[in-house]
Structure 1
Amino acid sequence: MKLPTPEYHALLSPSSAARWINCPASVRLTKDIPSATSQYAEAGRVAHAIAELKARKKFVEPMGARTFNSRLKKLKSDPNYAPEMDRYTDTYLDVLTEHAMSYQSKPLTALEVPVPIGIFTGETKPDGSAATGTADCIQIGGNVLWVTDYKNGSGHPVSAEDNPQMKLYALGALYSYSIFYADVIKTVKMTIVQPALNSVADWKTTPEELEVWARDVVKPAAESARTGGCEPNPGGWCESHFCPLKNTCRARAEKYLALEAFGKALPAGDPAATTPTLSDDEVGDVLTRAKGLASWVKQLEDYALQACLAGKDIPGWKAVEGRSTRSFADPDTAYETLITNGYPREIIYDQVPKSLSQLEKLLGKKTFADLLGSQVVKPAGRPALAAASDKRPPYNPAQAAFGTTN
């Protein structure tokens, strides 16, 4: 089975929507930067192809075992294939099956669907047609449209709530299928399946709410991106949505370097300017300003290293050989040498039991729950600092003392 290779990638794509909606200037500043791939992106491409094949067999295309296995074998021969993709894509298929079973009758299921995002952003392809994005799965039945997205990554869980990427897919799907369903669809559901993190995130809205968002948020942001009449607006979307300019963006640098000016702007005579300690208000201010500072510095270090390796001069810095770790050329041969020379096997090998998570993967969730579920304890987590916008409830010491959480 041939892996999907899109011929055209929209500048205002759904996958980068959180970035260009919040920072329209990033589109103008990065449009001439060549798109780069990575081993993670390539692995995701293979996993998506496997997920599509499994879903196609179940919902769309009658496919015998021989044809299915032949296509699957070809995908598994890709150098970016990893064994865990089988389990991950099975989880995705299970979610789609649950969705299908929730309808009163068999829903329409469409896979890898190009949906016209340009209808809402104003962007067109070279041939003049509306720019598109590709939705992993669209299911429609009764008065419900359900958009499901598979993510192969294991970085951090992605929320489906108010997710711009998912909302653009949903808008495109509503437009594409309006000729068949017109005003029938009353509810739009969205699900992001991230099996590597055991995360299945859901959210629902209405066509009317999506249309308001398209008019009040998407259209103005897209217009600003096209005209370029805006300044860069750095934020969490720089990193989470892979802005090509994130390492060298001056606005992002100024945001973090503004910490140097902390306290200097206080009015003369302000008591806070002379106190030896920060107030709680000031501590909160510094933490808010510094959020993301550590990762930004790490990204600058990565950029500088690659620049040095490419022969560029980064004043004050150079590339050197890092610390190396010794290892056996052939561990089995090394250990066998010791055993041959009289050293007991038990002093060479450690016998370590598998962890709870490893046993759950080995046994499967159901068998694990049946055999060991009653022996699993989950104490309250340790308190951790989070932004006020975090959806988790505030830490409750009383509940934690009794080993429970909200």
Structure 2
Amino acid sequence: MFRNPWFETVAEAQRRARKRLPYSVYGALLAGSERGSTLTDNVRAFAELGFAPRVVGQHAVRDLTTTVLGMATAMPVLISPVGAQGVHPGGEVAVAGAAAGHGVIMGLSSFASMGVEEVVAANPNTAFQIYWSGDRDAIVGRMERARAAGCKALIATPDWSFSHGRDWGSPTIPERIDPKTMLKLAPDVLAHPGWLWQFARTRRVPDLTTPNMRRPDGTVPTFFGAYREWMGTPPPTWEDIAWLAKEWGGPFLLKGVGRVDDARRAVDAGVTALSVSNHGGNNLDTTPATIRLLPAIAEAVGEQIEVLLDGGIRRGGDVAKALALGARAVLIGRAYLWGLAANGEAGVGNVLDIMRGGLDSAVLGLGHASVGALNPGDLVIPEGFTRSAGAAL
């Protein structure tokens, strides 16, 4: 379809993904609840921040390395856990391989279509993401499986984070791929022969089961079966989060924080890191962009735990802006999924190269020798840009 498989921007990866993927698959990647205000603001907010580059004194060599969740990483960009990666037959294993090849940490979702053992084999620096789903014994069982597989950190996503209501229409995601479903989806799929051929030559169909949510009786639920179980479990308390962090006993990231008071409670609960996140705009719509909320949270708890950010990262310059405002690292989601759809494992690596190149250019232009030196003085911040929620307990 494309003579040159290489792309120079994440925007180009998205264009190729849109052309290659069936509408229902591409629509699921777009996501975003209700009118998509949060989804839009996540991206737009980065464009409101300006750089203040230096004209003399740049460093010929820049250090982009850091440590996150106890793991060394070649740059402060992590793979965010995203479930059911049916955009390419390589799925999470392809993503993990690309991340390992670039020295980047892999985040693996409980709702992934490939087992944790396969993914850790492709990337030993894997953090397993867990939901508060089922009783404590079931949760411990999934956690211990991740530990036995070799996962080095745990990512907890405790809050509801998926919306069916989208003003532009929610894509049809089937319960399972069976003959009836294949027939129903055939017109859309046949209109995208390149995508169909990728799966046909591997003799498999997109997997909508969740092997990492395997039940004690050995059955493996479908994506929506696991989702319904999660939604049917009473939400966790802060005491539950403290229990989970203690039970894991290692690097533990709480994902989804947007309030200062929640950040402080997370510290009290014993987490070692948090991610300022609105789940890519899939949570309550009109939640502010995460980059607007980051400075207040980083100021409140940044000296006590690692503060990360996800939401809206599309280029290396966005990474630099997040680091300048107090993040230790960022997680990317849609960006690498578009790369995976565009060109498989090589496409994910392409996206990581784009991130690294843009980040390195920003560090160079701002006159620093390392990513650790980035600070608010490197930015032109418009008046009224930042937001703060829950500033007082």
TM-score category, normalised to shorter length: under 0.3
> What TM-score does the superposition give when structure 1 sets the normalisation length?
0.22
> What TM-score does the superposition give when structure 2 sets the normalisation length?
0.22
Larger of the two Rg values belongs to structure:
1
